Structure 1
Amino acid sequence: MVFAHDTELALVAAVALVNSAQQPDTLETTGQLEAFYDEQGYTGRLTGDQTELDELRELRPGLRRLLTSSRDDAVATVNTMLREAGALPQLVRHGDMDWHLHAVEGDRPFATRIVVETAMAMIDVIRADEMSRLGVCADDDCGGLVLDLSRNRSRRFCSTACGNRAAVAAYRARQGS
């Protein structure tokens, strides 16, 4: 494990949220919002309405900028995010998770919780000087984000589909020459 479990969960969720904007957009309906909430293991309040969906969709460009920024730029963004949300880190334990950090209450808006959890996770990434764990998919036609939690830092594609497309294209190029 590269980071603490809750840090990894928050990073995976943030990347999934940003990548939901790739075509086809996978966060267009309230049903997809509820599925995202469940798939990412969130707890706390979820209204599941159109307003909440719109708030999450609006987060995607800012989170993308954060996750692909330089280390120093990320610091400024993280500090702003935490200050604006009035974050107050506290240790909590719930469900199957042992003690971990939450910096806002579970009844705060879902979008606020995502912003704060992402900012808290980025604190670990910045302090460990591991910004290189975040990048853009190596498939030139994609643009999705990649979170590389592998030991040998070998992940280059945002999904298996992108990796397979690149492998097939490379194979076909070799066969054609």
Structure 2
Amino acid sequence: MVFAHDTEMSLQSAVVLANSAEPPDTLESVADLDRFLADFEYSGRHDRTRAELDAVRALRPVLRELLTAERDHAVELVNAMLSEARALPQLVRHEPYDWHVHAVLPDAPLVTRITVETAMAMIDVIRTDEMSRLGVCADEDCDGVVLDLSRNRSRRFCSTTCGNRNAVAAYRARQSDG
């Protein structure tokens, strides 16, 4: 494990959320948001309204900018996010996890909680100088964000789809050369 569990989950959810704007858009309904929250075990308030969905959708380019930023710019973005949300880090424990960090109250708007949890996770990435764990998909037709949590730092594609497409293209290129 490169980071603590809550940091990894926050980073993974931010990448999925940022990539949900890539065609095809995978965050178009409140039901899509419900699935996203269940997949990443978000606790706290969830209004299940179109306004909440629209606020989360509007966060996607902000997260993409943060996740693909150079280290010094990422620091500026993280500090602005935490300041705007008036984040106050504290240790909390709830099922199914032991003590971990939350920096906003559970009744804060969902978009605020996602923003702050992502910013808090990025603090660990920045402090450990692990920005190289984040990047853009190596598929020339994709702009998806990649989070590489592998030991050997070998992840190059944002999804299995992009990886498979490139593997098939490379295979076909080898076959046509032979």
- What TM-score do you get using the length of structure 2 for normalisation? 0.98
In the TM superposition, 1:85-124 aligns within 5 A as 85-124=85-124
Count of residue correspondences: 177
Residue 162 (structure 1) aligned with residue 171 (structure 2): no
In the TM superposition, 1:67-82 aligns within 5 A as 67-82=67-82
What CA deviation, in whole Å up to 9, does each residue of 1:141-171 have, x standing for no partner?
1111110000000000111111000000001
Deviation at 1:85, TM superposition (A): 0.1
Residue 29 (structure 1) aligned with residue 29 (structure 2): yes
1:138 aligned partner: 138
CA distance in 2, matches of 1:142, 1:49: 31
What CA deviation, in whole Å up to 9, does each residue of 1:59-107 have, x standing for no partner?
0111101100010001111001000000000000000101000000110
CA distance in 1, matches of 2:173, 2:129: 37
CA distance in 2, matches of 1:41, 1:19: 18
2:171 aligned partner: 171
What CA deviation, in whole Å up to 9, does each residue of 1:37-64 have, x standing for no partner?
1111101010111001100110011110
Corresponding letter in the other structure for 1:45: R
Percent identity reads: 68
CA distance in 2, matches of 1:22, 1:8: 22
Corresponding letter in the other structure for 1:46: H
- What TM-score do you get using the length of structure 1 for normalisation? 0.99
SS at match of 2:2: coil
Deviation at 1:125, TM superposition (A): 0.2
In the TM superposition, 1:42-81 aligns within 5 A as 42-81=42-81
CA distance in 1, matches of 2:123, 2:113: 15
2:126 aligned partner: 126
Corresponding letter in the other structure for 2:100: H
Corresponding letter in the other structure for 2:4: A
Residue 18 (structure 1) aligned with residue 18 (structure 2): yes
CA distance in 1, matches of 2:108, 2:67: 23
Deviation at 1:140, TM superposition (A): 0.7
SS at match of 2:114: helix
Which sections of structure 1, spanning at least 5 residues, go unmatched? none
Which sections of structure 2, spanning at least 5 residues, go unmatched? none
Q: Displaced runs of 4+ in structure 1, greater than 3 A?
A: none
CA distance in 2, matches of 1:86, 1:41: 23
